[in-house]
Structure 1
């Protein structure tokens, strides 16, 4: 029986039998209420809170009530939408200081609206060259490869951040040095693919890289990538006027095979993609920065009702989405802009039926302003991590 599943009387009885003095977690509060309070402690401070008392230390160290690895929700289906009711989402923003050129990582608690500074990211890759992949179910984020700053040499190095330890450590290096690459989480593993079509897969349980089937055909110059439904989507992006039709490729992890991206998906991929609640959304890079959702059955990107990203969140933009649905079947998307101003978009089913059939959605935005000291920071990646 775990500590968190024991009743207060059971804990007292256990302490008497062992000759230990048992102290209430929070004096005056029922044990189950105290547990819920401790579950909301920011993960960055867990080490400090463990020093408060042996009771807090036992709860934070041994309880499975706030898991980093959580199971799929009932009825989640193949989309892999998960339940994160006891895990709290934190938005991790990677940004470069334009003066020092150093990469730093800040964590935003969406509930308190507080930014927390994480330990420095190891390595010295050039801005934009490396890949960042989150494994939210494990509470881990990987910074992969890149090009050495001031040079053109690609590297094999991989660093992993763990929310449980609040620290970085070196992970197994890739089999091949890679600079600019597409990467994403597919089925709990990290898939990376270079522009030359060579690919490999990292298994975090085994801590090893293994080769994946290479993509054949012309080189796809990565513009954006997203992982959803057991597949990694890599797009060459768009430009106007088109010199040629944009290209796109899809890696199916279950079949270990590559295929061509559907025409409607690749031609309508006109911005940065975030996956939220198992659905793919794009923040368009033109006009009012409106949000679009991909409809696989119709092979088209459908406009989400509501306004575009608030203009006070300035470019450059990076986007991310929460893995699971939130209350009422809604989905949450984050758009991080210059100075780490954040537009938080909540997407819900629209009350008005669609003209062409199918579910219509509407987004509402809220802006969280970054602190004044972040004014010069330029974001390069954002990930949602549960801890």
Structure 2
């Protein structure tokens, strides 16, 4: 199966239909080889490569619907979002980190093939550490930085939303939220951004319509955000854990299809003892205690099951932030990234069905990243 959404022959046919002379994408190479060569160009250089020829430009930008295709052999291979704004399917890890001296927020992207970090344009605004939400829309190649408090004023919440597009390698302002929010839970549910404040109020952003709409409010006692994850059409918000428990932790679940909140299952909330990543449709936690072992949630049993294999390698120091790839790899494997201090990254490959095992590989961050403290990570198909 071709990785791209527009084959070489389609590009040539499009040129002929427009009255242009048909030109091979890369003269002398079979179409599938030419496609894979272009697919491995880092997205930051797409603008440059569009200038090579009109044929390359059409391949990179002008596919009629530009659907995103997951690689052959992944779960859900084929069209994921017909309106996706990118037509490539290589996963890139985006890491947000603060410089503890300047307190400036930076964003870098790790190319998992070359193991090179790419510096991205600065994030607009001056959000304070931990006071904003970050949501990735992987199949659209977009990241949203939402709300927060004004830099230097930890009491003034804001409505602003900035969106990064991998296709353009740039930021722009998106429509502001209906309500100012400083601390919130947020995630991508069904291709939309769901934001839930600690006061129980929630709203949803539709990237196609580019507008915010109110969502059902969560009733009952407030849930202080500790961690959140989105999977299976739901946003899970947990209050976290502390030992010994002063009281049982609370948790809430937003069901997008029903536009309703329900209480989180007991086993899920009591076992949520770390940071959650969703990979291949499964929810995993990197535990914050002991050897930083990986656990997977089993909904049928309402329990977190330990994944065999070692914990996160100790050279990847805390604080940890985690992210997972949307699709499965060949053989039904799943991939998780744990980003630590200095942007050292532990790449975990999880294999198996009910009984799973994880193997870790460490990608060291450059020396100049030594002082950076990660605060969020997202995986985009860019």
**TM-score normalized with structure 1 length:** 0.90
Deviation per residue, 1:153-178 (Å, 9 max, x gap): 00000001111111111000000000
3-state SS in 1 of match to 2:252: strand
Aligned to 1:328: 331
What CA distance in whole angstroms lies between the structure 2 residues aligned with 1:73 and 1:230?
A: 23
Indicate yes or no: 2:261 matched with 1:258: yes
1:87 maps onto 2:89 in alignment: yes
Instruction: Give the equivalent residue in structure 2 for 1:238.
Output: 241
Bigger CA drift: 60-69 or 108-117?
Answer: 60-69
Mapped to 1, the partners of 2:140 and 2:200 lie a distance apart of 28
Correspondence 1:295 to 2:306? no
SS in 1 for 2:44: helix
> Matched residues in 2 for 1:143 and 1:135: separation?
12
* 1:183 counterpart (181, 186, 190): 186
Per the alignment, residue 123 of structure 2 pairs with: 121
* Structure 2 unpaired stretches of 5+: none
1:108 to 107, 110, 123: 110
Structure 2 match to 1:354: none
Q: Does 1:349 align with 2:365?
A: no
Secondary structure of 1:137's counterpart equals helix
* Counterpart residue number, 2:220: 217
Distance 1:43 1:85, change over 3 A: closer
> Which of 139, 144, 147 is the equivalent residue of 2:146?
144
Partner of 2:40: 40
Deviation string 1:39-96 (CA, Å, 9 cap, x unpaired) is 221111100111122222222122469744779999859xx999x9950000000001
1:375/1:66 CA distance change after superposition, 3 Å: farther
CA distance in 2, matches of 1:256, 1:274: 23
Assess if the C-alpha contact under 8 Å between 1:81 and 1:323 holds in 2. Answer: no
Partner of residue 53, structure 2:
53
RMSD (CA atoms): 2.7
- Give SS of 1:119's match: coil
Whole-angstrom distance in 2 between the partners of 1:207 and 1:338:
35
Number of the residue aligned with 1:380? 375
Query: Per-residue deviation at 1:312?
Result: 0.2
Tell me how far apart the structure 2 counterparts of residues 37 and 91 of structure 1 sit (CA, whole Å): 20
| 1:361 and 2:356 are equivalent in the alignment | yes
CA contact (8 A) 1:184 1:190 kept: yes
Unaligned segments of structure 1, at least 5 residues = 351-358
Q: Secondary structure at the match of 1:346?
A: strand
